[in-house]
Amino acid sequence: MHKKLLLVGVLLSATCLLSVLPVLASANSTKLVLVAQAKLPVDIATRINDSALYIAEQDGVVQRIIKGKKTTALDLRKYTSASGERGLLGIVFHPNGKYLYVNYTNQQGNTEVVRYAMSAANTANVSTRTLLLTVKQPYANHNGGGLAFGPEGRLYVGTGDGGSGGDPQRVALQTSSPLGKILSLSPTAKNEKANDLKVWSRGLRNPWRFEFDSANNLWIADVGQNMWEEVNVAWASKGAGKNISFGWSAWEANTRFNEDEPAQPHQKPVFTYKHGDAGCSISGGTRVRDPQLPAWKDWFIFGDYCSGRVTAIWVSGETTQKQTIMQRDVGSITAVRSTTQGKVFVLTLDGKVLQLVQG
């Protein structure tokens, strides 16, 4: 997620638990409820006609959790392993629920996006493994990892700028490179050669988590360099990010960065925060659509890995109108995600799977 992150193996119990973190009165009595534990959880997904939670563990296992029972839906450990910012980084289901897509770094450190058909037993059928995308990674960090479905029913992939620091190869703004981008491809392609790969957005440093909300607006939590973290929005009415530059590495948030990169027009962030008490590594967010969280409808909620804060912002047009800290000291937050039912979950490095609920 960030050059400062070091995700290490922490073995945790598989027992389903129930506890509540402290509540801030200013956050309308919302609270985080611990619904499960996992080993190095980095992403969560659900699928249609299935009430289970699917948790991506960084060491390469996708766990299925339902009513406190945990089973393995997919084991990728022969293809990947948790090391720094490498490992299994993202999962998503096809909207029809028939396919599981995974984003991981392989044993050579390169990104692979792979499709599996789901079986009647709610496990991925390994015989259907189909490689859809390979991206060569020049360094060990900034691998992106996010997956999402969006406009035209296509599969979208977030890639970092390749790593090290400061976009040393100056690839994020170059349309000829797949790095530092949101890419789109055909989710039903027969193989990588037929994936119809396209660059959707560019100028990103490490879009660890992004999503298209229910109206197909694109929300990106882009991890910053040394000073700024940022949230970007590309509204569906303006193309949902298609052919848009978000500025990196000519800019870090609203501050000029690599001056040898031309300061071309770009989509400016709708929210930024400086490294300090607020944190130093934005670890993704989601726009709330859970009917059980009416006070937060259409707010964007994100977490920070360094500070453990969960923050909500209300965005109108190109600016943030309101912001509030919902929770403090949650832990090393690895993701803030919504499921297909709209439920909001916060994941932490020490293994917590927390659900945001109204108190």
Q: Which homologous superfamily does the CATH classification assign to the domain defined by 25-358?
A: TolB, C-terminal domain (2.120.10.30)
36 vs 225: CA distance, rounded Å: 32
What is the rounded average pLDDT of the residues 95-109? 98
Task: Give the global pTM.
Answer: 0.93
pLDDT attached to residue 6 = 41
Q: 3-state SS of the chain: helix, strand, coil percent to 5?
A: 5, 45, 50
Whether pLDDT at 3 is above 50: no
Q: What is the mean pLDDT of residues 344-349?
A: 98
Question: What end-to-end distance do the CA atoms of the chain give, in Å?
Answer: 31
Neighbours of 263 (CB within 10 A): 12
Question: In the predicted model, what is the mean pLDDT of residues 199-225?
Answer: 97
Q: Does residue 111 register a pLDDT over 70?
A: yes
pLDDT digits (tens, 9 = 90+) for 290-323: 999 999 999 999 999 999 999 999 999 999 999 9
CA–CA dist 147, 43 (Å, integer): 10
* pLDDT score recorded for residue 16: 33
Q: Residues 210-231: what's their mean pLDDT?
A: 97
- pLDDT for residue 7 is more than 90: no
Please give the backbone phi and psi of residue 174, each rounded to the nearest 5 degrees, phi first.
-90, 120
In this predicted model, what pLDDT tens digit does every residue of 245-291 receive, in sequence order?
Answer: 999 999 999 999 999 999 999 999 999 999 999 999 999 999 999 99
Q: Using one digit for the tens of pLDDT, what is the confidence trace for 57-79?
A: 999 999 999 998 999 999 999 99
The token pair at 346 is 């916060």
The per-residue pLDDT for 285 is: 97
**C-alpha of 167 from chain center:** 20
